[in-house]
Amino acid sequence: MSRQAEFQKQSSNPTKFYFEWKSDDKTFAYYDKDKKENVKIELPFKFLTLMEFHTIKGWNDKNQSGVYSNEVKSIGNDEINVRLFKGSQSIKGIYKEIKETIVAMGGHYTKSIYIMLESGEIANVNIKGSSVQSWGDFTQKSRSRLSDEWIQVSNAIELQKGKVQYSIPEFKFAHTLSQEQAIQADNAYNELKNYIDSYVAKQIEVIEEEEVSIEDIF
């Protein structure tokens, strides 16, 4: 960082919405701070992928506190710092090496995907569990298409494990971006990257996306 950059105004967070998959509702939802309630999204839900990260989220019953961590690009090499919103408990290290402690804290692996909506707004999608595998299966052989094709979730896939019934999103490619949308996506990406660079570059330095096996996570 240059000396002049030290005194420049830092970028504000451009992320407008934080979506999570709600298994029982079979759709995505976000928390509206003004209404203090979850707002469900009517499918189909369309978005463009901008960036992908790995993080930890969850709930600690003992402290009645949320579990959170920094976001990293390389789950196998980058250090994760897992903390509670309430209480002093924390753990830092490479995911594989501290996984058991993370689980004991109430945390779980979460895929953090930054996206652009059709409106041009930047948002974030958090997925966990079997939804991560669904995303991995979808992108495994088609990562080169993520930069210039819309992704659409129109349906939920219903699954069952033992007596537990749950749902995961079904990801499909919709269509290619128009030239105007591609320019809009470049602008959204640059805005997001500027924010990341100004706030958390040391934690989530943007590097080439690694191939992550589902066995590395669960």
Closest by alpha carbon to 63, among 93, 83, 41, 43? Answer: 83
**12-206 maps to which CATH number?**
3.90.198
Q: What is the pLDDT of residue 197?
A: 83
Interval 82-106 mean pLDDT: 93
- Residue 203, both tokens: 């934690």
Q: What is the pLDDT of residue 142?
A: 86
User: In percent, how much of the chain has pLDDT > 90?
Assistant: 76
3 state SS for the chain: CCCHHHHCCCCCCCEEEEEEEECCCCEEEEEECCCCEEEECCCCEEEEEEEEEEEEEEEECCCCEEEEECCECCCCCCCEEEEECCCCCEEEECHHHHHHHHHHHCEEEEEEEEEEECCCCEEEEEEECHHHHHHHHHHCCCHHHCCCEEEEEEEEEEEEECCEEEEEEEEEEEEECCHHHHHHHHHHHHHHHHHHHHHCCCCCCCCCCCCCCHHHCC
Interval 69-98 mean pLDDT: 92
Cα–Cα dist 175/49, whole Å: 13
Q: What is the pLDDT of residue 206?
A: 34
Cα–Cα dist 149/190, whole Å: 18
Whole-structure pTM value? 0.85
Interval 128-144 mean pLDDT: 92
Instruction: Please write the tens of the pLDDT for every residue from 3-33.
Output: 455 555 567 889 999 999 999 999 999 999 8
Contact 27, 43 (CB under 8 A): yes
Closest by alpha carbon to 45, among 179, 183, 150? Answer: 150
Q: What is the pLDDT of residue 4?
A: 53
* 2, pLDDT greater than 80: no
Instruction: Please write the tens of the pLDDT for every residue from 189-211.
Output: 999 999 988 765 444 333 333 34
